[in-house]
Structure 1
Amino acid sequence: MARRKSNTEIGATTEFRAGCQVFLDFAYSHPKCVNKKIRCPCWKCKKNNYLDINIVNYHLLVNGFMRNYEECWGAHGQRRDGGFTVHNSSSSNNHRMNEMVHDIVGPDFDWEQAREQPMNSDAKNFFKLLDDGSEPLWDGCTKQSKLSAVATLLNIKADHMSHECFESLLKAIKSMLPDSDKLPENYYYCKKMVKKLGIGYQKIDACPNDCMLFYMENENMTKCTVYGHDQFRPNKERVTTKKSTILFKILRYFPLTDLLKRLYMSSRTAEHMSWHAKSSTKDGELNHPADGKAWKYFDLAHLEFELEPRNVRLGLSTDGFNPFGHSSVPYSCWSVIVTPDNLPP
């Protein structure tokens, strides 16, 4: 292992050292400093690694800043006019999207080492997503990346558009953009890109009367075991096979384990997952489930579980709603929501 140089061995000038200190004071005092770490802007890290102040200072003195980063510290909160970045402006979409992609693997991931090693298909897909998150929507675009633009359009579609309307709008937008635009050709490729973020869902066949799921040990059944209701709508030939018919009902399941892992992958949320053991209020008011008798009773009944504050405590709720009421469609959804009670109010 190479020996780390001492401060006296580093050949940085006094002026450069002073400039680095100004940058560090600015960056570590800004809200974009997460868990006392910032993206290191040295020539090697290129803002890919979250590091503490001592390591960033050492990297800058040894490697210097990455190219063209001396003018404006955009990734650390500075605007071109010298002020702070406004976090809710449209120009910050690209930065927020990159933060989401980086959170998939956490702040301590060694990006440089990972790129140098042989990668499997999952790693290749992830780095492709990372590149999409940094790639401008077209050459010279500064407000949207390829990934942030697709995510914005899909969000609008989910709220207001049909599939056909989205396809037509996508074609119209592409016709207005420069020839160098990176916007996908159709809805299929937009979904395929965002799916790499790992926020997908699993389809599970269900009985129309909500008696059972055709899942795991019931996967090969075609009738409900309670009332004998068919799993599939029969076609014109009255054949009831999976290939020839349509399901009566589908349960869409967002894998819970992956979503809980994401809470600990993100440096912003990981520190809040043990909040209930450190900062819960003691004013006698019921401000959070941690203040209630049920929480305290559970701790007494499960002492081993209570000793690790990072253990996840979940609350469950369900209710029906009609997301298509404005379209006069008599169709309702019943969502089952699982909430991590570790998080602060």
Structure 2
Amino acid sequence: MDLLSDVVAAMRVGRPHYARGERHTPWAMRHPSFAGAGFHLVLEGRVWLTPSDGEPVELQAGDIAFLPHGSSHSVASDPGGCAALLPPTPLVDLRRDGLTDRGEAGVGVRTTMLCGAYLMDRARPHPLLAEMPEVVHLPARPGRHAALRGATELLATELAEPRLGRDALLPALLDALLLYMMRAWLDERPGGDAAGGWSAALRDPAVHAALQGIHGAPERPWTVKELGAAAGLSRAAFSRRFTTSVGRPPLSYLTWWRMTLAAGLLRGSDASLRHVANRTGYASEFAFSAAFKREHGMSPGAYRRQNTSTGPRVDLP
């Protein structure tokens, strides 16, 4: 996998969830925080989104608001909506996944939205996701992010008229939408490379080459010298540059990524402990178990039982 795909695959839990909402002005809704990322795609009308600690953001037809941290927020038909007085409603009610919520009958202007939720392993947030703002506003600008716009149009088409294959297509399109939203933010991040952080590291050829090596072969017994050679830098110069960009020394990041990958394998597959150990660069199950317990605070077996016995834990009001 490439680095962005790796980040998403390691943090995602289960499948994406979605709901289509229709409201007639005036209206307002309050969404509590949750362990994941979410979005609002305005299909028709206009919406005002207000973060828990921020100014209202106006969303017009075609606009997307991406909430990478699952932060609490409200959406309303006007910036002064009374959402704060309403009971909290999950961004997407997983018990009614995929349904169209029309709310109470009204006579005002109609607004139609697609809302989605991606459950994430928040115990180990990836630095790329962690540095994203509370709300990423992606306006529907002509000529910008054609692939993202194409994905939204396909989603709208599938939702408008149920057809054969819809149940398989929608999760795939929602997964694609997540990656396109993250790509769009990377492309338009304020400050670009000068802003620093992990997103800038992806555009640094030397650091990117080392990250590709780690993610492409996490089982390899990497040394700082070998990673520096892959980056085309001396050991000392590479270590400084990598640590500044990524926020961790090279071998510290290698261990962190191995344990993140291991958690994903334990949570999302029935791979044996030996296979997970080999995949993450440990010669024995004992050595892997000791490293995993240091990082996660529990044994691999306990982690698997806790995260797969009843499925991912989701708090719904």
**TM-score w.r.t. length of structure 2:** 0.28
Higher relative contact order (CA 8 A, sep 6+): 2
Say which structure is richer in helix. Answer: 2
Larger Rg: 1
| The structure with more strand, counted as a fraction of residues | 2
Q: TM-score scaled by structure 1?
A: 0.26
